[in-house]
Structure 1
């Protein structure tokens, strides 16, 4: 069964989450930390092939009133570049407001010390919200 990939894009780190085959549950996968975006794009392409990904959901960072910010524009530009690497896979943007705050709270609630996991937890929160919204 195909899966959906969730991304929390950042200049230094990109959090990754993956759905199960029924598109019901999102799981953290890893955080990609690279200096060069080309390496991030190749790693995402590799994950898509290994996990049989049919769709990529990228968190769209807007301010609380829904207006675009410089980070929003950077994320949209990244999505366009990612399209060139992932072929036929659909890429969808999804509102990520408050996902990082929820991820930080999850780390505190679980008494986790790996702050580096925050990006993959944020990706999981984004993807789970997407899956919940699109559940048929």
Structure 2
């Protein structure tokens, strides 16, 4: 299995969190222990932002927090291409917007189990780390995050 340290750290990410509904899984490469969203934000360099990632089959939706980490808004939607092209686009955006951490949606099944999309999301993060984008990551449970408007 390729991945080295990043793949070993993936096992840390599979331990369930205890910090409420949103926080479920978090890890960072290079043997840094898992963190929750509050821990992540307290460790960010001054002035850096968080980037929210909504990973789809054909697109990658991005949201960016303000510098005070109080609110986030839409940034851009990237078309997924070959991984290296997508990763280069992400790297450029992360550098341009001073991103210090990533919050990525984890599409758990309604019963809390992980399916194919969760595996794909986790592998995407491992690939980013192997590519050299080594930012702290929090997996966010996105069950029921899309509620139909009545």
Q: TM-score scaled to structure 2, two decimals?
A: 0.64
Please point out which of 64, 68, 73 is paired with 1:18: 64
Please point out which of 126, 135, 140 is paired with 1:80: 126
Identify the residue that residue 49 of structure 1 maps to in structure 2.
95
C-alpha distance 31-46 of structure 1, shift in aligned 2 (>3 A): same
Q: For 1:75 and 1:86, how far apart are their aligned partners in 2?
A: 17
Q: Which runs of 5+ in 2 are unaligned?
A: 1-46
For residue 11 of structure 1, report the CA deviation from its aligned partner: 2.2
The structure that is helix-richer by fraction is 1
1:3 aligns with 2:49: yes
Name the structure, 1 or 2, with higher relative contact order (CA <8 Å, separation 6+).
1
Identify the residue that residue 112 of structure 2 maps to in structure 1.
66
For residue 34 of structure 1, report the CA deviation from its aligned partner: 2.8
Give RMSD over aligned pairs: 1.7
Q: TM-score scaled to structure 1, two decimals?
A: 0.70
Q: For 2:75 and 2:132, how far apart are their aligned partners in 1?
A: 18
Structure 1 segments of 4+ aligned residues over 4 angstroms from their partners: none
C-alpha distance 34-87 of structure 1, shift in aligned 2 (>3 A): closer
